[in-house]
């Protein structure tokens, strides 16, 4: 095979610390290399044309590009060699940027290392074989996990685009965090007024099937053909019959149930509909608090229900759905702030979270929109807001900035003044993060028009003094310690990955970062893709986000799905395992270890043999490293290809 | 051997249903036995079981797949049969296993050492305690205990672990406890370069005849052994010590969790390279990390073909 | 329960003087619970605050000598009632894990320092090794009747990484013990606020302000007495209470006990052996109240 | 108000020394002020602890080492315990105080003298001898014992002894102090040669030998 | 020219494409400085790594081999690294009997987001290998080719 080698300067990114010309020169000495050169920007149009030209001129059988990471441009260059009539797999990359030029300044060592990597690539290339992908049919339905604003956006966009959508929501209503908000920044328009209609659209859209109070149990298959096992948790209410009239709620005698929707501000009934605008507007029983389910007594709801939909025997139900793509929009949860002993660690009732405050502000909330101290129901006068609780704090393992707390705190300060004109708000902050259209103007208004007192500094402790809370913080601009007698303290608690996010990631086979947020395909260029084909991200599951960005991602994810489904067939990745039938002795070790059950037993002249099902094989290669006689080989990563790399690097 | 007649009896009883029964019989001189394939009743009379019945006959089974085969097994041989069953390389219904209480077999190299040479042995009388060998018209008596193969002196499975017919009184298997790795541990006392040098010296003798592989009952790749293949191309065909050593590692790793330490590889080696030690080391690790011993349970899944989410005995490096 | 608790015991300088009653009561209580204390032979000062304000090697060297004394007893850990000593001894061990620092310390010592000896507070071993439940079993005279607050001081459990004991902001060890003794415990909000520490002599004004604040708060939550585990805290709050009153013209009359003293009483020991008489603010009214409450209960029973 | 030239006034040796001796990274501080917020002594400080951190970060050696705050820190660990960046602020305060001492900055005479007297007492007796320590402190501050009022409270309780509690090993302890003095002398010499300390004013005061002023103490006692 | 004589040693890395190779990229993007000795071979999954590759590399003259995959439970192929862990552990324990220090081989888990961790791993592993110095090498077809040199050295 005649090989061409192209060593990229990547402007100065590589050239600055690697002598690319020397690398090219060295490459010319490698066996099989018929042409080698260094180029300014290999990925640019002229750069690619140069490759095409060289292939034609020197009739090259394979190409090596030494530049950035293959995770960046392997696809690009495969298309390039294809344009020149080569099979896309007769191409190899040497990563001399991320793995060389960017991690050290020693030009000699870098050049030398680059030469090694190029040698390795050429050696592998000589063992490459043309591979051809197969086409397979796809199921043009999409699963949306999570019914928050991001999920809703993605679902509606897909549905309007003509796709069948299956939405799975963990709680008994969609709406997510946004549904709990009173108003939204920076426009201060009513959250439920703008979200409500979208929720109704989801309920009414002919293309959308909604499974509320359900969770993902199992995910199998691959892009185009996923098989999803959904667990419908027992609600003890037959939702086909329930009309959401709410009589059961009025009559239910156990009124001490935790009110999750209201963030524990106030209590609710054992059988409940989270809030008036809930979608679906159906009742469910919280088994922990229902005396019928715990003690076997009561049964009031069954008696009063006009449609007779109560069923205390109800069990969890499992449903299988087939889809071709998945949008994950599982959102975030609030950081457990009780680790802050200095803020009372949860012992002081009048220290609450921002989300709890939202429920208090909301007219549909437990206090009917009146701001009251949880301890004694009194109207607070001095309200202290503390920012960065569980954000930008290494000591609690949350070094990142949640990003939207500054804004919602400003909003809450403004709303507080509207609700209680006599009140005075204080905000302890470190920096104000107000990037975004009209955002900074908004925080300025909080100070200029609403006279919110912004104090730059963290709070070191809160402790009760009489019926007030003494908040002791710093004003670093004054350079002194300050104290505020507060009636109510609201903590701007930061966001963390949703509970169970990592478990779901394992089912989806996508990766997540140290904090449990899902990893996008590429930080810049693949913001809503993941490294698993057919799985996309929307909203805060990828990292803390405010409403506009979540919605934007929801639409972006939908666009990706619609794009994927614009074809009737997908091409399978030919980097899969094949069995050399004469080498196989039918011991079945590969079958035992394949994570996908992609290898089955067949018979050949009365002898047992292994056989790979190409569309199911994902190309991990466990079988190849398991088979003692090397009968099953993962194409493009065969034993010989890897051995040739080893030999290229370690020449005795 | 007292149970020999009993054994012959039950072989002849079942012979009609079998295509062949494999055992041992006398060989070119009184000091050697050789594998014996019995197809007719009269063949059975030649069957001889003695401390000379060294060969692990399980090696022949995969090759005879599809035929009805009877096989006479020592305790250690039977564990190879178990492995072959576990890897469904033979079918239980086609194999009839004859067990007997094995008191150990000799190590020819030890005898050779004791006698100087074993050129023209005239006779060899064996008792439980001694070998009486007549050669060059003088008689020499060797203590049986000293002539036994190492694996026998520390044998934990004298009786077949699996059998359809068992002749004689069972001695009693000790099972998986107190395994003796003294040899390995002693070797590991050597310094790093000493160990490295040792293997180079030993493997230098290797003539790449692959007798070790051919004798191994679990080297089932047969014509497609990595040693002589170009795809995958693990080894060159040159006469160099690197490839010779590499082959032994490949053999050992491919046997990880499968090897029963029958010792055939080492016995078969014409130039006496202690290749068994590689497998013993591998087994020691398998045992310590996964509490697993090959060749005991046909239903078991070997450790390298399975995993646990949390591995109790694996502590990973912290950086 | 662990029947054979046995420790090396490092009393610390103040036990020979201003906090003699802490030492007495600690020994008495341990004796009553069959916890054996073996005095560290010929112990010397740990260096306390002054040493580490001057130099860390000096401070660690002074502590290291005592850790060696412990090692010479063939023990690898010791206990001390005093948080300041505790902090110094623990810090010394911790810092000497760094070879460079250890060498510096060794330069100051006769023989190379021992780096194995760990230290715990008397409080810690009582709750962790002996156990609150077991203490409860031993109570003969429950401390009923009066509300006490527990004040821990700033360094008993801070920094958390070093002290490895109880919650850094809201320690509960003493609260739990007091509850086990039958006392009514009021949650003291300033458990870990500083009392003015060693500034009593050079900057009395500081102590007046800080200790004053503590006493005000204690009164505010209706505590009739405070329990402490620190000689400095106790001295500032008890011995200087009159000064505090003068300085802030307040009228506190709040007994400040060492927790071991109240434990002793509950375990049925005499006031004498617990050095109750050595307290400056008379605990009489509080103790009598408890006594009477008990007798009421007894009669009721 | 003085204008500070950020690059010219930056004393990098000072910053490095603080980082080395404290094992803390000054750049980890993002000035949230939580240390100041929690510091019980802020009231008395001339420079708040968070600003000490800032001034140290920016290498303003003279301003930092002159600060009274260094001497008023009681090492109560509030700052360290609550720092969101896990900086051991209390230890940095310690280190700064050490440097101040070495280089002859004495923020607050009384406090320094008290500590010296305390250590003097330890040096001579192996343990703290409270009465001796006080006597010593008085004689060096010239301040009449501010706690005389306590005398009549404490004395009858047998808490105060007029002779130091005896220990055999006191020589060993004394040696520790002597060696320490030698070591730090060497160290200072080295630093001089490296010209690290910009101006080393008065040499480090020695721990004043303790005076047995029992008689004087008795006099005080008779006053009451 | 395999390595820079004297200054570098031959260290081979086998990295899974999804996590560790990405982690190494992240380290690069973050400009986290690393020693230059390591050469990375990219494989789809740590489960693809036949432990014999490691032995092969050693016998061909590598001074150290580093394997890195996704964290357990986070494998892109869900199970690959679980198999890898068992197989790599075995080979790590086996190397010493061949005459290689066990420290010459290490396997670990680095996710695509852990650029910093990758930097630490590479740096400390490279130090570790430099502390050990060059590995014993097979210098020719006959044992004597090597042994003579070794004895000379000893």
**CB-based contact, A346 to chain C, within 8 Å:** no
Q: What is the pLDDT of residue D197?
A: 44
* Mean pLDDT, rounded, for A534-539: 97
pLDDT digits (tens, 9 = 90+) for C195-220: 998 898 888 999 999 999 999 999 99
C293 vs B263 pLDDT, higher one = B263
Q: What is the pLDDT of residue D218?
A: 41
pLDDT digits (tens, 9 = 90+) for A109-156: 999 999 999 999 999 999 999 999 999 999 999 999 999 999 999 999
**Residue E1 pLDDT > 90, yes or no?**
no
Percent of chain C with pLDDT over 90: 81
Show residues of chain A in contact with E60, CB under 8 Å: 646-647, 650-652
Our answer on whether B and E touch (3+ beta-carbon pairs < 8 Å) is yes
E5 vs A375 pLDDT, higher one = A375
- pLDDT-derived band of residue A624, with 50, 70 and 90 as boundaries? very high
pLDDT digits (tens, 9 = 90+) for C246-275: 999 999 999 999 999 999 999 999 999 999
Q: Which of B196, B241, B319 sits opposite E124 (nearest CB)?
A: B319
pLDDT digits (tens, 9 = 90+) for B200-257: 999 999 999 999 999 999 999 878 898 899 999 999 999 999 999 999 999 999 999 9
Show residues of chain D in contact with A475, CB under 8 Å: 33
Show residues of chain A in contact with C168, CB under 8 Å: 341
Question: DSSP H helical segments within chain E, as ranges?
Answer: 20-29, 51-59, 80-98, 115-132, 143-153
For testing contact with chain A, the best of C158, C169, C192 (most A CBs within 10 A): C169
DSSP track, A103-157: T---HHHHHHHHHHHHHHHHHHHHT-----PPEEE---EEEEE--SHHHHHHHHH
Contact B97, B81 (CB under 8 A): yes
* Mean pLDDT, rounded, for D43-71: 96
* Mean pLDDT, rounded, for A202-210: 97
Our answer on whether A and C touch (3+ beta-carbon pairs < 8 Å) is yes
pTM of the model: 0.81
- pLDDT-derived band of residue C301, with 50, 70 and 90 as boundaries? low
**CB-based contact, D161 to chain C, within 8 Å:** yes
With a CB cutoff of 8 Å and minimum separation 6, the contacts of A92 are A62, A63, A64, A65, A121, A122, A124, A125, A128
At residue C212, the 3 state secondary structure works out as helix
For testing contact with chain C, the best of D42, D70, D75 (most C CBs within 10 A): D75
**Does the distance separating the beta carbons of A626 and E36 come in below 8 Å?**
no
Q: Which of B199, B246, B307 sits opposite E56 (nearest CB)?
A: B246
pLDDT digits (tens, 9 = 90+) for D63-102: 999 999 999 999 999 999 999 999 999 999 999 999 999 8
What is the number of other CB atoms lying within 10 angstroms of the CB of residue B59?
23
Q: What is the pLDDT of residue D142?
A: 76
pLDDT digits (tens, 9 = 90+) for A426-479: 999 999 999 999 999 999 999 999 999 999 999 999 999 999 999 999 999 999
Q: Mean pLDDT of all residues in chain A?
A: 96
Query: Which residue do the tokens 């690319």 mark?
Result: A20
**Packing angle, helices C56-72 and C83-96, rounded to 10:** 100
Q: What is the pLDDT of residue E3?
A: 63
Q: What is the pLDDT of residue B136?
A: 85
**Does the distance separating the beta carbons of A476 and D33 come in below 8 Å?**
yes
**CB-based contact, A630 to chain B, within 8 Å:** yes
Q: What is the pLDDT of residue D185?
A: 85
CB-defined contacts A:D, below 8 A: 73
* Mean pLDDT, rounded, for A371-389: 97
Q: Which of B188, B194, B250 sits opposite E52 (nearest CB)?
A: B250
Measured distance CA(A14)–CA(A20) in Å, rounded: 8
**Does the distance separating the beta carbons of C190 and A345 come in below 8 Å?**
no
Show residues of chain B in contact with E106, CB under 8 Å: 317
Measured distance CA(A312)–CA(A131) in Å, rounded: 58
**Does the distance separating the beta carbons of E12 and A650 come in below 8 Å?**
yes
Cis bond before residue B203 (omega within 30° of 0): no
**Residue D210 pLDDT > 80, yes or no?**
no
What is the number of other CB atoms lying within 10 angstroms of the CB of residue B129?
9
Q: What is the pLDDT of residue D202?
A: 42
**Does the distance separating the beta carbons of D76 and C203 come in below 8 Å?**
no
A518 vs C295 pLDDT, higher one = A518
Query: Can you read off the two tokens belonging to residue D50?
Result: 């968070």
Question: DSSP H helical segments within A148-289, as ranges?
Answer: 149-160, 191-204, 247-251
* Cα four-point dihedral sign D162, D165, D171, D176: negative
Residue D48's φ and ψ, nearest 5 degrees, are: -60, 150
- pLDDT-derived band of residue A238, with 50, 70 and 90 as boundaries? very high
C148's enclosing H/E stretch is strand C147-150
Report CA-CA distances (Å) from A266 to A259, A364, A376.
7, 13, 13
In D, minimum Cα distance to C52 occurs at D94
Our answer on whether D and E touch (3+ beta-carbon pairs < 8 Å) is no
Q: What is the pLDDT of residue D160?
A: 77
**CB-based contact, D37 to chain C, within 8 Å:** no
Q: Mean pLDDT of all residues in chain C?
A: 92
pLDDT digits (tens, 9 = 90+) for B133-178: 998 888 999 999 999 999 998 899 999 999 999 999 999 998 877 7
Show residues of chain D in contact with C55, CB under 8 Å: 98, 180, 184
With a CB cutoff of 8 Å and minimum separation 6, the contacts of B299 are B86
Contact E57, A648 (CB under 8 A): no
For testing contact with chain C, the best of D22, D70, D76 (most C CBs within 10 A): D76
CA angle, B212 then B214 then B218, to 5°? 95
Q: What is the pLDDT of residue D144?
A: 65
At residue C147, the 3 state secondary structure works out as strand
Closest CA to A402 of A188, A182, A177: A177
Residue A512's φ and ψ, nearest 5 degrees, are: -135, 160
A563 vs D163 pLDDT, higher one = A563
**Residue A394 pLDDT > 80, yes or no?**
yes
CB-defined contacts C:D, below 8 A: 168
For testing contact with chain E, the best of B249, B274, B287, B292 (most E CBs within 10 A): B249
* Mean pLDDT, rounded, for A305-318: 96
**Does the distance separating the beta carbons of D81 and C168 come in below 8 Å?**
yes
Measured distance CA(E89)–CA(B290) in Å, rounded: 11
CB-defined contacts A:E, below 8 A: 169
Q: What is the pLDDT of residue A182?
A: 96
**Packing angle, helices B276-290 and E80-98, rounded to 10:** 140
- pLDDT-derived band of residue A616, with 50, 70 and 90 as boundaries? confident
Measured distance CA(D126)–CA(C62) in Å, rounded: 9
Show residues of chain E in contact with A626, CB under 8 Å: 83
Q: What is the pLDDT of residue D214?
A: 40
**Residue C83 pLDDT > 90, yes or no?**
yes
Q: Which of B132-146, C96-110, D182-196 has the lowest mean pLDDT?
A: D182-196
> Complex ipTM, two decimals?
0.78
Q: What is the pLDDT of residue A139?
A: 96
* Mean pLDDT, rounded, for C62-86: 94
Measured distance CA(D34)–CA(B94) in Å, rounded: 80
In B, minimum Cα distance to A639 occurs at B232
Q: Per-residue b/e over A360-388, b at no fewer than 16 CB within 10 Å?
A: bbbebbbbeeebbbbeeeeebebbbbbbb
> What is the 8-class DSSP label of residue A540?
G
Closest CA to A14 of A104, A80, A76, A93: A104
* Cα four-point dihedral sign B73, B75, B80, B83: positive
In A, minimum Cα distance to E5 occurs at A109
In E, minimum Cα distance to A98 occurs at E28
**Residue B1 pLDDT > 90, yes or no?**
no
Query: Can you read off the two tokens belonging to residue B207?
Result: 């003539």
> What is the 8-class DSSP label of residue A153?
H
**CB-based contact, A480 to chain D, within 8 Å:** yes
pLDDT digits (tens, 9 = 90+) for B54-100: 999 999 999 999 999 999 999 999 999 999 999 999 999 999 999 99
**Residue D222 pLDDT > 80, yes or no?**
no
Q: For chain C, how big is the Rg over CA atoms in Å?
A: 19
Distance from CA of D184 to the nearest CA of C (A): 10
- pLDDT-derived band of residue D146, with 50, 70 and 90 as boundaries? low
Q: Which of D110, D118, D177 sits opposite C50 (nearest CB)?
A: D118
Percent of chain A with pLDDT over 90: 94
Show residues of chain A in contact with D38, CB under 8 Å: 342, 460-461, 472
pLDDT winner (highest mean) among A555-564, C200-209, C282-291: A555-564
């Amino acid at each position: 095979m005649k090989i061409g080698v192209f060593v990229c300067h990547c402007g100065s990114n590589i050239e600055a610390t690697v002598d690319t010309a020397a690398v090219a020169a060295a490459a010319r000495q490698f066996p099989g290399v018929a042409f080698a050169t260094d180029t300014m920007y290999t990925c640019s149009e002229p750069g690619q044309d140069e490759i095409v030209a060289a292939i034609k001129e020197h009739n090259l059988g394979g190409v090596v590009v030494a530049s950035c990471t293959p995770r960046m441009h392997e696809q690009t260059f495969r298309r390039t060699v294809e344009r020149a009539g080569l099979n896309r797999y007769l191409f190899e990359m040497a990563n001399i940027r991320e793995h060389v030029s960017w991690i050290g300044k020693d030009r000699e060592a870098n050049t030398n290392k680059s030469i090694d990597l190029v040698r390795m690539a050429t050696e592998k290339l000589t063992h490459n074989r043309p591979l051809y992908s197969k086409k397979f049919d796809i199921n043009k339905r999409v699963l949306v996990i999570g019914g928050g604003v991001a999920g809703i956006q993605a679902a509606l966009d897909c549905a309007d685009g003509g796709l069948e959508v299956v939405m799975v929501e963990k709680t008994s209503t969609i709406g997510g965090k946004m549904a709990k908000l009173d108003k939204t920044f920076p426009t201060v328009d009513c959250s439920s007024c703008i979200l409500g209609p979208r929720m109704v659209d989801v309920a009414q859209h002919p293309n959308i099937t909604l499974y509320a109070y359900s969770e993902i149990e199992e995910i199998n298959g691959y892009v185009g053909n996923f098989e999803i096992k959904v667990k419908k948790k027992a609600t003890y209410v037959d939702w086909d019959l329930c009309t959401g009239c709410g009589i059961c709620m009025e009559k239910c005698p156990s009124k001490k149930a935790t009110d999750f929707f209201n963030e524990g501000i106030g209590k609710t009934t054992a059988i409940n509909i989270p809030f008036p605008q809930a979608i679906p507007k159906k009742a469910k029983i919280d088994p922990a608090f229902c005396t019928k389910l715990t003690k076997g007594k009561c049964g009031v709801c069954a008696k009063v229900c006009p449609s007779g939909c109560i069923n205390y025997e109800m069990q969890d139900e499992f449903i299988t759905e087939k889809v071709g793509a998945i949008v994950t929009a599982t959102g975030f949860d609030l950081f457990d702030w009780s680790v802050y002993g200095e803020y009372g660690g949860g012992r002081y009732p009048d220290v609450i979270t921002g989300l709890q405050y939202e429920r208090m502000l909301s007219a549909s909330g437990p206090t009917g929109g009146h701001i009251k101290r949880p301890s004694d129901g009194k109207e607070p006068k001095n309200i202290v807001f503390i920012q960065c609780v569980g954000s930008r704090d290494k000591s609690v393992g949350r070094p990142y900035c949640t990003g939207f707390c500054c804004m919602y705190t400003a909003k809450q300060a403004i709303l507080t003044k509207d609700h209680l004109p006599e009140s005075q708000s204080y905000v302890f902050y470190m920096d104000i993060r107000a990037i975004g259209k009209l955002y900074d103007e908004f925080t300025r208004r909080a100070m200029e028009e609403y006279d919110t007192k912004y104090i730059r500094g963290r709070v070191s402790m809160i402790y009760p003094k009489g019926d007030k809370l003494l908040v002791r913080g710093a004003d670093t601009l004054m350079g002194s310690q300050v104290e505020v007698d507060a009636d109510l303290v609201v903590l701007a608690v930061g966001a963390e990955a949703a509970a169970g996010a990592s478990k779901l990631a394992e089912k989806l086979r996508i990766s997540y970062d140290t904090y449990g947020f899902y990893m996008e395909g590429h930080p810049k260029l693949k913001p809503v893709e993941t490294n698993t084909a057919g799985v996309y991200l929307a909203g805060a599951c990828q990292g803390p986000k405010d409403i506009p960005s979540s919605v934007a991602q929801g639409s972006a994810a939908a666009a990706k799905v619609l794009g994927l489904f614009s074809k009737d067939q997908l091409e399978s990745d030919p980097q899969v395992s094949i069995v050399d039938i004469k080498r196989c002795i039918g011991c079945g070790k590969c079958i035992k270890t394949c994570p996908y059950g992609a290898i089955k037993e067949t018979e050949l002249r009365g002898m047992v043999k292994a056989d790979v099902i190409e569309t199911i094989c994902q190309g991990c290669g466990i079988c190849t490293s398991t088979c003692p006689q090397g009968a099953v080989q993962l194409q493009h990563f065969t034993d010989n290809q890897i051995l040739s790399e080893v030999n290229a690097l370690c020449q005795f | 051997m007292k149970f020999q007649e009993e054994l012959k009896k039950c072989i002849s009883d079942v012979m009609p249903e079998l295509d062949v029964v494999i055992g041992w019989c006398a060989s070119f001189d009184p000091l050697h036995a050789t594998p014996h394939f019995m197809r007719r009743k009269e063949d059975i009379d030649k069957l001889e079981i003695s401390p000379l019945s060294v060969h692990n006959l399980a090696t022949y089974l995969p090759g005879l797949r599809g035929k009805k085969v009877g096989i006479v097994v020592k305790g250690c041989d039977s564990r190879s049969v178990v492995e072959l069953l576990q890897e469904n390389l033979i079918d239980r219904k086609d194999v009839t296993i004859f067990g007997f209480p094995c008191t150990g077999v000799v190590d020819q190299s030890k005898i050779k050492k004791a006698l100087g040479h074993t050129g023209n042995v005239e006779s060899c009388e064996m008792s439980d305690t001694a070998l009486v060998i007549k050669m060059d018209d003088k008689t020499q008596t060797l203590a049986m205990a000293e002539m036994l193969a190492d694996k026998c002196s520390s044998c934990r499975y004298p009786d077949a672990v699996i059998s359809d017919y068992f002749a004689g009184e069972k001695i009693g298997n000790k099972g998986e406890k107190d395994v003796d790795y003294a040899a390995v541990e002693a070797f590991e006392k050597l310094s790093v370069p000493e160990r490295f040098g040792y293997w180079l010296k030993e493997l230098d003798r290797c003539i790449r005849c692959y007798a070790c592989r051919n004798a191994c009952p679990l080297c089932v790749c047969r014509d497609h052994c990595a040693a002589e293949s170009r795809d995958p191309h693990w080894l060159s065909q040159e006469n160099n010590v690197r490839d010779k050593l590499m082959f032994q590692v490949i053999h050992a790793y491919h046997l990880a969790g499968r090897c029963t330490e029958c010792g055939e590889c080492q016995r078969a080696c014409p130039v006496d390279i202690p290749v068994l030690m590689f497998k013993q080391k591998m087994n020691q690790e398998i045992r310590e990390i996964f509490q697993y011993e090959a060749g005991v349970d046909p239903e078991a899944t070997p450790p390298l073909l399975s995993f646990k989410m949390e591995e109790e005995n694996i502590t990973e490096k912290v950086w | 329960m662990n029947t054979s608790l046995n420790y090396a015991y490092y009393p610390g300088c103040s036990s020979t003087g201003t906090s003699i009653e802490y030492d007495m009561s600690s020994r008495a209580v341990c004796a009553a619970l069959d916890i054996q204390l073996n005095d560290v032979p010929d112990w010397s000062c740990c260096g306390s605050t002054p040493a580490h304000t001057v130099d860390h090697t000096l401070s660690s060297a002074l502590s290291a000598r005592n850790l060696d004394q412990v090692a010479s007893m063939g023990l690898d850990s010791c206990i001390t009632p005093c948080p300041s000593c505790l902090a110094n001894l623990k810090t010394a061990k911790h810092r000497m894990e760094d070879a460079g620092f250890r060498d510096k310390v060794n330069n100051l010592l006769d023989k190379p320092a021992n780096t194995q000896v760990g230290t715990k507070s008397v409080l810690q071993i009582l709750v962790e090794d002996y156990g609150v439940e077991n203490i409860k079993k031993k109570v003969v005279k429950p401390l009923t009747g009066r509300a006490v607050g527990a004040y821990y001081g700033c360094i008993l459990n801070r920094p958390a990484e070093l002290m490895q004991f109880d919650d850094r902001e809201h320690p509960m060890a003493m609260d739990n013990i007091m509850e086990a003794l039958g006392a009514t415990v009021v949650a003291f909000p300033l458990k870990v606020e500083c009392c003015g520490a060693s500034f009593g002599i050079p900057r009395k004004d500081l102590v007046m302000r800080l200790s004053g604040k503590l006493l005000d708060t204690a009164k505010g939550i209706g505590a009739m007495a405070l329990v402490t585990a620190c000689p400095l805290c106790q001295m500032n709050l008890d011995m200087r209470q009159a000064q505090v009153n003068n300085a802030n013209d307040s009228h506190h009359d709040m007994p400040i006990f060492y927790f071991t003293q109240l434990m002793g009483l509950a375990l049925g020991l005499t006031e004498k052996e617990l050095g109750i008489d050595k307290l400056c603010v008379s605990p009489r009214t509080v103790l009598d109240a408890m006594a009477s409450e008990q007798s009421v209960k007894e009669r009721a029973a | 108000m003085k204008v500070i030239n950020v690059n010219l006034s930056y004393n990098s040796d000072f910053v490095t020394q603080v980082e080395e001796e404290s094992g803390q990274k000054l750049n980890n501080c993002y000035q949230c002020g939580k240390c100041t917020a929690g510091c019980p002594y802020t009231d008395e400080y001339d420079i708040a602890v968070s600003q000490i951190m800032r001034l140290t970060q920016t290498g303003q050696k003279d301003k930092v080492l002159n600060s009274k705050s260094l001497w008023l820190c009681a090492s109560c660990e509030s700052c360290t315990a609550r720092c969101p960046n896990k900086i051991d602020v209390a230890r940095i305060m310690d280190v700064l105080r050490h440097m101040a001492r070495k280089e002859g900055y004495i923020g607050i005479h009384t406090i320094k003298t008290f500590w010296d007297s305390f250590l003097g007492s330890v040096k001579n007796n192996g343990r703290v001898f409270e009465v001796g320590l006080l006597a010593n402190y008085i004689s060096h501050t010239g301040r009449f014992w501010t706690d005389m009022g306590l005398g009549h409270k404490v004395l009858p309780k047998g808490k105060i002894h007029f002779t130091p509690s005896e220990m055999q090993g006191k020589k060993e302890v004394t040696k520790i102090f002597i060696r320490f003095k030698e070591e730090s002398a060497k160290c200072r010499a080295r630093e001089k040669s490296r010209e690290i300390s910009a101006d080393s004013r008065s040499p480090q005061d020695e721990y004043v030998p303790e005076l047995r002023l029992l008689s004087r103490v008795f006099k005080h006692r008779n006053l009451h | 020219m395999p390595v820079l004589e004297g200054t570098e040693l031959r260290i081979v890395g086998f990295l899974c494409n999804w996590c560790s190779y990405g982690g190494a990229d992240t380290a690069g993007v973050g400009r986290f400085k690393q020693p230059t000795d390591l050469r990375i071979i990219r494989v789809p999954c740590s489960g693809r790594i036949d432990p014999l590759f490691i032995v092969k590399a050693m016998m061909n003259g590598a001074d150290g081999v580093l394997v890195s995959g996704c964290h357990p439970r986070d494998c892109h192929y869900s199970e690959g690294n679980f198999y890898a862990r068992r197989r790599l552990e075995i080979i790590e324990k086996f190397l010493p009997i061949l005459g290689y220090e066990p420290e010459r081989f290490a396997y670990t888990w680095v996710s695509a987001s852990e650029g910093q961790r990758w930097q630490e791993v590479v740096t400390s592993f490279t130090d570790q290998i430099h502390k050990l110095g060059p590995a014993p090498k097979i210098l020719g077809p006959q044992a004597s080719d090597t042994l003579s040199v070794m004895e000379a050295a000893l």
